[in-house]
Structures are given as C-alpha cells and as structure tokens.
Structure 1
Amino acid sequence: MFSKAHFTKLAAITVLVASLAACAAVSERETPGEYLDDAAITTKVIAAIVQDPVLEKNQVNVETFHNVVQLSGFVDSNQSLSRAGELARTIKGVRSVQNNLIVRTPK
C-alpha cells in the first residue's frame, strides 16, 4: 500500500502535471509572461499618448497582443492619426503597429 509520504509525492506530481497542462492550453493564446510584456507595452504607449500635446487624451484605444499594438478610435486630424502610430512604434518591444484610427470629419 501507499505510505503517507508516497501519497504526498503522488499528489504533488499530480498538481504539477495539471499546472503544466493548464499552461500548455494558454500557450496557444498567450503565456503569462507574454501577457505581462503586452500589458507593459500597452501602458507605455498610453503614457506616451497622454503626454503628447497633439493627441486628445481619450480618443485612442490601445491593445497589445504578442507585441503587436493595435490603435483604434476616432481622432480629429491626419496629423493625430500619424502621430499616434509614430509614438507606438517608438516603444521598446513593439514588433508592429496596426493603426486602425479613423479621422472624424467636422460636421
């Protein structure tokens, strides 16, 4: 039969294998490390946009997945559209930028 020590080791191995299996399921999407890297990139891009005098603060939405930054929202000019993309590209770790901003024309 199993002693208490054997049962404890078996339980620990089972938990470890289950944890690794859970990580494997996430790897098709994003690992925890990648998620943190992407979150840091998003934060840096947002900070750069907020500090820029050309851009309106709440017009640009930023999302990052696998170091690819996606910009979305409505801006007032082509200059703002270009500037947001330029700022995102300057952030360390950004592989590419998908600039999906739309210039809103005045009524």
Structure 2
Amino acid sequence: MSDMPAAGSVKVVVSAALSDRFEKRYVVVDEATGDVVDDAQGYGYKTAQNAHRAHAYKSMPPKKKRHRSTTGPTLVWGAPGIHAARREHDVLRTQRRSQPY
C-alpha cells in the first residue's frame, strides 16, 4: 500500500465502464497521471463517499492503522450485556410475584 498516492492527489470519478443505465459506479483516479488507483476489485464503489472513505483507509500510514485497530470498544464473549440484565430483571420480577403479601 505504500505505492498509493496521497489523499490530496486523487479524485473520485464516475466510471463509464463499470456503470450501467441505472447505477453509477465510482473509482479513485490519480489526478496527475489519470491512472485508476482503486476500483474495489473491479466492481467500483456505489457512492463517491464510499470511494473516498476506502482510499483514506487504504492510504493511512501503518502506524496509524495499528493505533486504530487497538483502540475502541472490545466485545468479550460471556461479558454481561443487555441480555444478562434482562434475565436478571425477569428473575427479580418473578420472585416478587411469588412472594406472599
């Protein structure tokens, strides 16, 4: 991925070859040379925003990618979540109903 141009030197354009009558497809093109930089493995992107987003992610420096993958929420199997809280609520409600006044 180091051979990708910087984010400022690319533009997103509609690809006539990948688009059809009803659906436009977008590709990322190098402004200086006109070469296609990214075309979503030959399919093109459905929106220009998705093409920009993909290029920004792919051209991100490796150090920033590592930092991005280690931050954020981590889901742990077996950790109490909404379902555990709901089960606990149901148990308490059942116990309350079964107690005599």
| Fold shared by both chains (TM-score > 0.5) | no
Give TM-score scaled by structure 2 length.
Answer: 0.30
Larger radius of gyration: 2
- Give the structure with the higher percent helix: 1
